Structure 1
Amino acid sequence: MTTIENASTRTTAPKRLGGAASRPVLRPFVVGAICRRDLARYFTNVAGYVFIVLFIATSSVAAFWPEAFFANNLATLGQLNELMPYLLLLFIPAITMSVWADERRQGTEELLLTLPARDLEVVLGKYLAALGIYTAALGFLAFGLTLVLAWLGRPDLGVLLSTFLGYWLMGGMLLALGMVASLLSGNVTVAFILGALFCAVPVFAELLGGLSSTEGARAIEAASVPAQFREFGRGVVPISGVCYFIGLAAAMLYVNVALVGRRHWAGGEKSSGLWGHALVRILAVIVAVLSLQTLVARAGWRPDLSAERLNTLSDESRSLIKNLPSDRPVFIEAFFSPEVPREYVEAKQNLVGLLKEFDALGGQKIQLNLVEAERFSEEARRAEQQYGIAPRNVFTASEGRQGFDEILMGVAFTSGPEQVVIPFFDRGLPVEYELTRSIRTVAGAGRRKVGILDTDVGMLGRFDFRSMAQNREWQVVTELRKQYEVTSVSADSEIPADLDALIVPQPSSLTQPQIDNLVAYVQSGGPTLLFMDPLPQFDRSPQMNLAPTQPKEQPGGMFGGGPPPEPKGDLTPLLELLGIEWPQTEIVWNPYNPHPKFTELPPEYVFISPSSGAPDAFNPKDPITSGLQELIVLFGGYVRPRVGGGPDFTPLLRTNEEGGIVRFESLTTPGFFGIDIDPDRAVHIATGQDYTLAARIEGDAPATTDEDEDADGEGEGEGEEKKAEARGIHALVVMDLDLISDGFFQLRQSGSEEFEFDNVTFVLNAVDSLVGDDSFIDLRKQRRRHRTLTLLEERDRAFEAERLEQEAEAEKEANEQLDAARARMDEKIAKIEANEELDDRTKQVMLAQVREVEQRRLTVAEANIEDAKRRKIEESFAAKERQIRAIRGRVRLAAAIIPPLPALILGIVVAIVRSRRENRGATPTRLA
């Protein structure tokens, strides 16, 4: 109390908020004195450190102990972000329960409130003290959690900074609310319970949106603490969220001041009127704060602290806007629902925010019209009739309900006669890329021409005799139409030379004349993207007729009819022209899987990632693949350069050396509707080498020989002319057709956090590179970095390598035992055959008996050896799982101990110092 008593001697002014005009509104030295008093009282008390240690330990357990943390394999605080608002329901009341209630319990309230300090100064002093306590606890927590994440992987420090800023703002607001509860009770326990109940109102308001789909319920849900914090956890600092937390904290502090000041008029003649007046003022302040937050939210200011800065316009977009022709402005009309489900809030905010940035930078070159369209409104009808933008039924899931909501979120771009419409922005669509590409497309002079060769795949849509239905065009075609003029190309005649690029899905399904036409196009220098797959898997089933080793499908499907199709041709001329080899019956497998949640996936699902241990998994020097993070290939093949040489062969996608191959015939079995995959009978051959799954092939085409020219009846001069016209090979080869199937586009649109692959990005980059337009490649590759738990991945790879070695040893031992058993049988047979004392009939009888007996023994031995091998393989799997669980257990233990350790040590030091001070000057006999 000495500090406050000294402060009180500096002025004798009354404590009311009114006073002389010359007096300052707020005196910092008074606020500081009260703050220092409460801080000293808390941090010199061991109980205060106990609460801090419990808070840090509980938060650490919530962050790192759930199995989902290891299943997601991400160096983030995603688990803690979901639980932090609810953890604060316990920790915040523990801080605020003694702010006012303890003053009453100790009898110091009257002394404090009779000091020459204004009510506002007293409230601010106590609030800053509580905020200082929370800040110290949060600082210890931030240090410990960052240390653990840096040990496990490479976290994004910008995202962590915004996350802890969100924690701090959230706690600061709840502290002001908890102080109100402490003012209403003189009992510390009751103050804690009231504080938890008061703080639970804005925290659990999020549940109201899950119980009802009305606009009012959604508005309350959007104003809840978890909803306002969510963007902080993604690395974005929304100014609207900052205003929300600071504004509500200020409003609750005003309530504190009003409640403290009630002693000036409570019980008087006008007390009832003053109570009503105070209540109206409090409600007015809260409404003003929420209104300000709504206005700021409409402005869309959202600084991005993440390393990728996905919510800030890139240099490519700024350059595009700068170079737009001023005589052809781009008109943008965006139609969106006023209220959207929680799952689409971020997508809507990103869309609206980036559109406003484009509009601000474009000036007169971009004319933006944002239209909030209710269902069945005139604006919604105009969007559908004029642009084809219709409401979309989207699935929503929250705590209270699951169902479908109909929302509108589409954009139309127009410039002169050109128009591009994006009917709906799904959650996973890269917003900036879609906007930039659409603006460039409508503002450009013309579109490049991309052809798709008409093969048995039917990418442009065709009638399917198996399902007796018309198939739609693949989504990759729809995606390409947004940027290019896409046309169907027949392989039955000469392929047009005016194509900027040609996409060839599964060339092995072509007939020989069609292959010859394709070879002529490639040899002439036509840019070509080839997809070759030993076992196509799109439409969720093996495509029997598309596998290169299988015959063409009969006309009419399973019902037959029509003449037999022309057989598939020989792909050797095309492979020789490209200078490559493709073993068409070999499928690549690899044990690397960075998604522990999906360990049941077969090893033929090959994950390509730099974290797999292959430093050149994505070619860092090629613009198509540099910067990609993860890609998956389903039952794909591999390609290698031909021994005799050829054009330049540049790998784009490569596996690590931990896998091998599985042959087509051992993996598949004939089924009623085609080929069935039988993983149990598959023989995985470990080769210990990496495989190229995609490559760029460029260089001179092989020269035409004189024999070929003579065979064609061409003269020497005509042959030289043809050779001069050759422009060289310009091709990309991808050894998986499923890589561009619709499933990956659907994953991209849904914004799946479990499976966020670069398959779509890789294919679109490949087309852009062939066309010669690299303007979108860097922009398309921008996405949040998949920061995995590298420490656990390294341990997992080591365990997997050890397991594969044990499996290989078991296989080798089993083969040796089988060979020995067969050798024993052969030895007995040879011994009988070499016995010259036996006649031929006796030999035949004895040989038959020996073969029968030994064959039974061999069959039993083979079964026993196979069972022993299987047990050893199962034991190796079990050993690996035990090792992984042990590693995770050590991580959990370290995560529970390391973060609270600094606060615990500091608390022990304070306890020792306090004990010595209390015992200083005491006689030894008294201490005894």
Structure 2
Amino acid sequence: MTLNNVTSSLLSLFVLDLIFLLVLLAIVALLAGTKKVAYAVLKRNFVGYFGNPTGYVFLCIFVFLTSVAAFWPYEFFNQNLATLDQLNYWFPLIMLVFIPAITMSIWAEERRQGTDELLLTLPADDFDIVIGKYMAAASIFTASLLFSQLSTFVTLAILTEGAVDTGLIFTTYLGYWFVGLAMIAIGMIASFLTGNLTVGFILGALFNAPLAFASLADSISPNQKIAEWLAASGIARPFDDFGRGVISLSSVSYFVLVAIVAIYASMVLIGRRHWTGGKDGNTMAWHYLARVLALVVFTAGAVTLFRNKDIIRYDATEEKVSSLADATKQLIRDLDSDRPIVIDAFISSEVPELYARTRYELVNLLKEFRSEAATQGREIDVNLYDDIELFSEEAALAAERFGIEPVTRMVREKGSFQQKQLILGAAFRSGLEKVTVPIFEYGIPVEYELVRSINTVAEGSRKRVGIVATDARLMGGTVMQGMSMQRVEKHPLIDELAKQYDVEEVDLSGPVTPGMYDALFAVQPSSLAPDQFGRLVDAIKLGVPVAIFEDPLPFVNSYVTPTGNPKQSPGSMFGGGGPMPKGEIRDLWEALEIESPGRAGMQGVYAPDLVWQMYNPYPNLEMNINEFWIFVKDDAPGLQKGEALSGQHQITSGLREVLGLYPGAVRAKASTTLKHTSLLNTGSESGLIPMAKAQSILQGQSTIAREIESVSPKLTLAMAIEGSSGDGETDADSKNDDNAADGEEDSDDELTVNPIKAVYVADLDLMLPVFLQIRADPEQAAEMKFQFQNVTFILNTIDWLTGETEFIDVRKHEPIFASLKMIDSVKEQASTEGRRQTKAYQDESDEAVRVAQEKMDSELKSLREELDKLQKESADGRISRAEMQAKVQEFQTRQEREQRMLDVKQTKANRELQRKVRDIQRVADQKVTTIQNQVKAAAVVLPCIPPLIIGVIVFASRRLRERENISKSRLK
């Protein structure tokens, strides 16, 4: 299967290359038909270059250098992405060697051999000669690139097991080709200036050096504006689009215009023979110089125009990893052009492998934001401080002005766990508004973080979300646990919401009306006092958007009162107090026209049933979970795609998996007037269990298999509710009706009644802090490979209620990057084998300790029995007290000695286990390092073989042709 994938990828690349070559052949055919002399020059130079073994030596060197630059750096494997980032970095330096080697002989060799006069006397103009020479050099370079492209692509295709991004690689090499076109044209100028090949090579490298090193202008120019202008004038910035898989009008126009200017300068140099000897020679020199300068100015202006109005941008990557989501583009269009936005991003030079992909995506997106804003006429200034040192001036600026400081992460690299510091943050400013992202965690979508921050500073005001104060204590506080009061920290979800909204606590001491809050967030509202609960129900009826999380059994947060339990007063555990009044949850269900299957519980309080499901996609969790862990996933039995997480609703469309713990079920009433949409559903092997039976199962008194009475497939755990209800009137509604009956006019202060908009989730544990930790740091449970999207579900819920739905679409845009699957496979195999051996050694160590423990117990058993016998005799007075004490002392001494021996054996076993674990890890790392070194060697050596073989064949055939008409006697 892997071989088929590799073959398929190669065919895709072959098709793209074939189309590209057909376009070039069409251009050459047009040249052959209209400019015969130019075509003759092209053919003569191209055939002459590859008819000489020296050409293949240069080709071999070029392929060797590109392969070394692409795969030899450690960063290639550390980044674990099938890209050519390392080659992109070194490519300008390679070109400074290779391009002058091609261009140095374009005209200098003609002068040296004296054939320049022959060319100049041909019935053709100067343009024919120059364009023929140029196209010959371009053809030589194109052939070299094809060799390099094939070798690097095959290597990447094997490493990715055929999942390489063909579009990205093709576009990157297309960028190399355009770079070569520009540098060849500039190198030709050097060749037309001298007749010496060495001088031509040196001048060609010198003339191209400013464009190659312009990106380093900030290190030599103290003026930031000048440094930015110089950096933008080099090849790095226009090539950057190609390197990210984007074909843009601004980049193509840059290279084409630079090549045109250089070609025209070559035409001036070759044509100077016409006027240098005349009386107006000096005047003509200034005239042509003015022409060239005017062309340079025109080129600069055109490049600037296209860069600011980059109307054509095509993302050629297969997974569109270099594109912004449609919602992101719309947000940029909607930005106020009078409110410029400044983004300062700081990225350290060393980033651990876990964060390499995040870094790549962050840089990619920031550049796309800048380009899209320029295209849309919006002002987003991106200051990208990339590859900074931890103690540099840029790092100090990040800490002092924006609070972005180095963070420490424990990572495993090069065979050991290391504490690594990195900087990967950004600050967003617009007017007086400022938002800082101190660290882009690798598990959180980068585009979402960027869009949310930009939108927050751009709008100048945020929507308000009210957190209803309930027993869940989302905003923090104190709760009674056991016999003492304990502090509850603020839920991390609140900090996540605060990045986008103004979040404040609502105690429902007064009514909440539409417009006071854009949404309410009520967790376990049944724990509210009756008057507070009634105000929440009234707010729902008035159309205040509400997210409700009501759990029949909050399993983790035991201080939260379950739906079906009476609420105990804090003093009841000391013998006083008693049940406290709480809201009637069925009033809330009545307002939403829903119901939750259940029955009357303690003291008549209604207790919803718990949901069970026979489905677990994580076999490694079997020992730690039960059937009340509800994995909401389309792979569950009896479900099709888009059924577990509804594909029909914006909140859950595109989500993969959500985990609920001990949830209840919810369903719409039969005679509802509202629109109910099921969001989270179980599979066919699921059902309901009464709370009393569930408690006996959890206490180990029964099993779920014994208690199951029936199966209830496709139960709903969460539901979106919207529309206008005809049931129930609030006090405000009654007052409005009375006023209307009395013929009174509506007053300005009357309450507005909006359609109901709510989301009801029958689970509280769905929002546990651990889900935020897994979202930010998925590798903490790398062996499990969790796919939980609980946090995304909750954020989507709040965004849907507040109308911020563009963020939902942005979260769905998850770019998929091609990784080095072959290396990952080796790592996984080594890790799996390591875990197996570690477990075996652990069992062996435990067995040794157990045997030692049994031996000690056996040796002490007889002595203990003798001591027990003596104690009985001592009680009867048959032995003396001194004899008894001596025996006890002997037993204690023997027991202490045996315990010391057991402790020593256990310590030795643990030390041996740790040594073996270290050996296992070292062997696993050696396997990974070995395969990496093999890839490096193969990627560098094998591509050089085909050019060398062709070179040897050319050399041999040339020698044979030279000896054809020579007599054998002369060959001796």
Give a deviation string over 1:556-583, Cα, whole Å, max 9, x none.
xxxxxxxxxxxxxx9xx999855479xx
Distance in 1 (alpha carbons) for counterparts of 2:201 and 2:607 = 76
* Structure 1: gaps spanning 5 or more residues: 1-23, 322-328, 360-368, 373-390, 413-419, 529-569, 582-587, 591-608, 611-615, 632-637, 653-695, 702-725, 746-755
The TM-score normalised by the length of structure 2 is: 0.61
1:886 to 913, 925, 930: 930
Per the alignment, do residues 501 and 158 of structure 1 end up closer, same or farther by CA in structure 2, a change over 3 Å counting?
Answer: same
Which residue in the other structure is 1:18 paired with? Answer: none
Distance in 2 (alpha carbons) for counterparts of 1:918 and 1:630 = 73
State the 1:522 CA deviation: 9.8
Which residue in the other structure is 1:209 paired with? Answer: 218
Distance in 1 (alpha carbons) for counterparts of 2:185 and 2:44 = 18
Per the alignment, do residues 899 and 214 of structure 1 end up closer, same or farther by CA in structure 2, a change over 3 Å counting?
Answer: same
Which residue in the other structure is 1:595 paired with? Answer: none
Confirm or deny: 8 A CA contact 1:205 1:224 kept in the other structure: yes
- Where do residues 474-873 of structure 1 align in structure 2 (5 Å cutoff)? 474-480=495-501, 485-487=518-520, 492-493=528-529, 494-495=532-533, 496-497=536-537, 498=540, 499-502=545-548, 508=557, 510=559, 512=561, 513=567, 578-579=610-611, 698-699=716-717, 730-731=762-763, 733-734=765-766, 736-737=768-769, 739-740=771-772, 761=792, 763-765=794-796, 767=798, 777-833=808-864, 841=884, 843-873=887-917
Give a deviation string over 1:672-698, Cα, whole Å, max 9, x none.
xxxxxxxxxxxxxxxxxxxxxxxx982
State the 1:294 CA deviation: 1.0
Asked if 1:148 corresponds to 2:155, the answer is yes
Distance in 1 (alpha carbons) for counterparts of 2:581 and 2:44 = 89
Give a deviation string over 1:41-73, Cα, whole Å, max 9, x none.
001111111111111111111111111111111
State the 1:249 CA deviation: 0.6
State the 1:226 CA deviation: 0.9
Confirm or deny: 8 A CA contact 1:49 1:907 kept in the other structure: yes
Distance in 1 (alpha carbons) for counterparts of 2:72 and 2:586 = 56
Q: Secondary structure in 1 aligned to 2:914?
A: helix
Per the alignment, do residues 337 and 25 of structure 1 end up closer, same or farther by CA in structure 2, a change over 3 Å counting?
Answer: farther
Distance in 2 (alpha carbons) for counterparts of 1:401 and 1:527 = 60
State the 1:170 CA deviation: 0.7
Distance in 2 (alpha carbons) for counterparts of 1:906 and 1:629 = 52
Confirm or deny: 8 A CA contact 1:700 1:727 kept in the other structure: yes
Which residue in the other structure is 1:60 paired with? Answer: 67
The letter for the 2-side match of 1:120 is F
State the 1:883 CA deviation: 0.8
- Where do residues 307-346 of structure 1 align in structure 2 (5 Å cutoff)? 307-309=318-320, 332-333=336-337, 335-336=339-340
State the 1:458 CA deviation: 5.3
Which residue in the other structure is 2:189 paired with? Answer: 180
The letter for the 2-side match of 1:303 is Y
Per the alignment, do residues 481 and 36 of structure 1 end up closer, same or farther by CA in structure 2, a change over 3 Å counting?
Answer: farther
Give the total of aligned pairs.
Answer: 703
Which residue in the other structure is 2:315 paired with? Answer: 304
Per the alignment, do residues 43 and 761 of structure 1 end up closer, same or farther by CA in structure 2, a change over 3 Å counting?
Answer: farther
Distance in 2 (alpha carbons) for counterparts of 1:766 and 1:69 = 39
Distance in 2 (alpha carbons) for counterparts of 1:816 and 1:459 = 49
The letter for the 2-side match of 1:822 is Q
2:394 to 390, 399, 402: 402
Distance in 2 (alpha carbons) for counterparts of 1:809 and 1:435 = 50
Confirm or deny: 8 A CA contact 2:217 2:230 kept in the other structure: yes
State the 1:737 CA deviation: 1.4
Which residue in the other structure is 2:234 paired with? Answer: 224
Asked if 1:91 corresponds to 2:95, the answer is no
The letter for the 2-side match of 1:882 is Q
Q: Secondary structure in 1 aligned to 2:66?
A: helix
Give a deviation string over 1:585-608, Cα, whole Å, max 9, x none.
xxx999xxxxxxxxxxxxxxxxxx
Q: Secondary structure in 2 aligned to 1:333?
A: coil
Distance in 2 (alpha carbons) for counterparts of 1:192 and 1:527 = 83
The TM-score normalised by the length of structure 1 is: 0.64
State the 1:31 CA deviation: 1.0
State the 1:26 CA deviation: 11
Give a deviation string over 1:245-275, Cα, whole Å, max 9, x none.
1100100001111111112222433222222
State the 1:396 CA deviation: 6.4
State the 1:298 CA deviation: 1.9
Confirm or deny: 8 A CA contact 2:186 2:208 kept in the other structure: yes
Distance in 1 (alpha carbons) for counterparts of 2:135 and 2:804 = 57
Q: Secondary structure in 1 aligned to 2:42?
A: helix
Give a deviation string over 1:618-639, Cα, whole Å, max 9, x none.
99966567867999xxxxxx86
Per the alignment, do residues 164 and 518 of structure 1 end up closer, same or farther by CA in structure 2, a change over 3 Å counting?
Answer: farther
Give the RMSD, CA atoms, in angstroms.
5.5
Confirm or deny: 8 A CA contact 2:39 2:132 kept in the other structure: yes
Distance in 1 (alpha carbons) for counterparts of 2:606 and 2:959 = 87
Confirm or deny: 8 A CA contact 1:96 1:192 kept in the other structure: yes
State the 1:160 CA deviation: 1.8
Q: Secondary structure in 1 aligned to 2:124?
A: coil
2:116 to 109, 118, 136: 109
Distance in 1 (alpha carbons) for counterparts of 2:188 and 2:67 = 26
Confirm or deny: 8 A CA contact 2:830 2:924 kept in the other structure: yes
1:246 to 244, 253, 256: 256
The letter for the 2-side match of 1:780 is R
Per the alignment, do residues 228 and 330 of structure 1 end up closer, same or farther by CA in structure 2, a change over 3 Å counting?
Answer: closer
The letter for the 1-side match of 2:895 is R
Per the alignment, do residues 738 and 808 of structure 1 end up closer, same or farther by CA in structure 2, a change over 3 Å counting?
Answer: closer
* Structure 2: gaps spanning 5 or more residues: 1-30, 348-361, 402-425, 441-445, 479-485, 504-514, 562-566, 570-579, 593-601, 614-619, 623-632, 635-639, 668-678, 684-713, 720-757, 778-786, 872-883
The letter for the 2-side match of 1:306 is T
Confirm or deny: 8 A CA contact 1:183 1:256 kept in the other structure: yes
Distance in 1 (alpha carbons) for counterparts of 2:276 and 2:581 = 97
State the 1:649 CA deviation: 7.9
State the 1:182 CA deviation: 1.5
The letter for the 2-side match of 1:335 is R
Distance in 1 (alpha carbons) for counterparts of 2:854 and 2:143 = 76
Give a deviation string over 1:351-375, Cα, whole Å, max 9, x none.
4654687x7xxxxxxxxx7469xxx
Give a deviation string over 1:367-405, Cα, whole Å, max 9, x none.
xx7469xxxxxxxxxxxxxxxxxx999866669963649
Per the alignment, do residues 526 and 262 of structure 1 end up closer, same or farther by CA in structure 2, a change over 3 Å counting?
Answer: farther
Distance in 2 (alpha carbons) for counterparts of 1:250 and 1:123 = 11
Distance in 2 (alpha carbons) for counterparts of 1:902 and 1:575 = 76
Q: Secondary structure in 2 aligned to 1:501?
A: strand
Distance in 2 (alpha carbons) for counterparts of 1:518 and 1:780 = 38
1:43 to 40, 50, 54: 50
- Where do residues 368-383 of structure 1 align in structure 2 (5 Å cutoff)? 370=378
State the 1:910 CA deviation: 2.3
1:234 to 225, 240, 244: 244
Confirm or deny: 8 A CA contact 1:39 1:133 kept in the other structure: yes
Q: Secondary structure in 1 aligned to 2:337?
A: strand
Confirm or deny: 8 A CA contact 1:42 1:48 kept in the other structure: yes
Confirm or deny: 8 A CA contact 1:335 1:408 kept in the other structure: no
The letter for the 1-side match of 2:842 is E
Q: Secondary structure in 2 aligned to 1:734?
A: helix
Per the alignment, do residues 877 and 371 of structure 1 end up closer, same or farther by CA in structure 2, a change over 3 Å counting?
Answer: closer
Distance in 2 (alpha carbons) for counterparts of 1:698 and 1:467 = 31
Greater alpha carbon shift after TM alignment, 823-832 vs 763-772:
763-772
Which residue in the other structure is 2:134 paired with? Answer: 127
